[in-house]
Amino acid sequence: MNLYFKLLKTPVFTVEDVNKHYENMDSSRSAIKRLMKEGMVAKIRNNMYTCISGETGAPVANRFQIASKITPTSYVSHHTAMEYYGITDQVYYDVYVASETSFREFEFDGYTYHYVVSKGLDGVESPAFSGGIRVTNLERTLVDSVKDMDKIAGIEEVIQDISCMKRMQEKRVLKYLDLLSNQFLYQKMGFLLSEHKEQMGLSDKFFDECKEQIGKSKRYLTKDMSNGRYDDEWKLVVPDSVYYLKNGMMDNATV
């Protein structure tokens, strides 16, 4: 039995996975140690391993597969999900992983894996032939990214991501907005998507529903502001820089 070639079929594996071939935990641990010593297996973190490719010398598991196996409920989210879908062509070395159970931040193969509190599993999908990846769909990714833009990606990156996104299923977007039930999120979403109505295939009804939920509260679009303009439609004070972002959605906007 060539254990290495069997394990190649499982991008991320545990001692328990190896034990399916041995039915003896001590033997399984010894087998892993032997493969690690021979440079054929790398330890990702406690009880998480991946094979090393004999062709490239790199880990077989990619960052999306690793993120999906950190805990039983973990999945790729936020800006890392944008990367998975090819929304951004820039490679980031911070991997955002949502989970219903927490884990300690760790590094592997140049990437740092960050824990994000999961807001439920609605919109989390397992794409076919992905090698076990669990990732938020595009609509859930959009909502999460806008919700947490001050904590994770930042307003400039979120705007750039939005400008690269195509058609959205607005019923899904409204569903995730409703699940979070956050007035401020409706304000941000309405404002940020308003210039991409046709691009995303969003109806007037979508924006009307957003407006119905924002109430009378006036807020700052982002916490990091020096100068800003007031947008009366969405009751938001918006940084001047938003209107001049290169390739941003508000290049020619006035309020």
According to the model, what pLDDT value does residue 102 have?
97
According to the model, what pLDDT value does residue 91 have?
79
Contact (CB, 8 A) for 163 and 248: yes
pLDDT at 198 over 50: yes
According to the model, what pLDDT value does residue 253 have?
41
Average pLDDT, the chain: 91
According to the model, what pLDDT value does residue 69 have?
97
Q: How many residues does the chain have?
A: 255
List Cα–Cα distances, 212 to 5, 172, 190, 246, 249, in angstroms.
Answer: 57, 17, 11, 31, 23
Which tokens is 21 given? 């071939």
pLDDT at 252 over 60: no
Q: Model pTM?
A: 0.90
168-183 burial by CB neighbour count: b if 16+ within 10 A, else e? bebebbbbbbeeeeee
Distance CA 157, CA 99 (A): 23
pLDDT at 219 over 80: yes
> What's the CA dihedral at 170, 175, 181, 185 to 10 degrees?
-30
Phi then psi dihedrals of residue 183, to 5 deg:
-60, -45
Determine the 3-state secondary structure of 242 from DSSP: helix
How many other β-carbons are positioned within 10 Å of the β-carbon of residue 167?
A: 11
According to the model, what pLDDT value does residue 243 have?
61
Give the mean model confidence (pLDDT) for residues 170-183. Answer: 96
pLDDT at 246 over 70: no
pLDDT at 43 over 50: yes
pLDDT at 211 over 80: yes
Question: E strands along 140-225, which residues?
Answer: 219-220
Q: Cβ contacts of residue 207 below 8 Å, gap of 6+?
A: 190, 193, 194, 197
pLDDT in tens, 100-122: 999 999 999 999 999 999 999 99
β partners of residue 112: 94, 107
Q: Cβ contacts of residue 245 below 8 Å, gap of 6+?
A: 156, 159, 160, 251
According to the model, what pLDDT value does residue 48 have?
98
pLDDT at 77 over 60: yes
β partners of residue 97: 76, 115
pLDDT at 35 over 50: yes
Q: Residues of the chain with pLDDT > 70: what percent?
A: 94
Distance CA 79, CA 28 (A): 37
Lowest pLDDT segment from 35-44, 189-198, 217-226: 217-226
According to the model, what pLDDT value does residue 133 have?
98
According to the model, what pLDDT value does residue 134 have?
98
Contact (CB, 8 A) for 176 and 143: yes
Give the mean model confidence (pLDDT) for residues 180-194. Answer: 95
Q: Cβ contacts of residue 197 below 8 Å, gap of 6+?
A: 207
pLDDT bin (cut points 50, 70, 90) of residue 39 is: very high
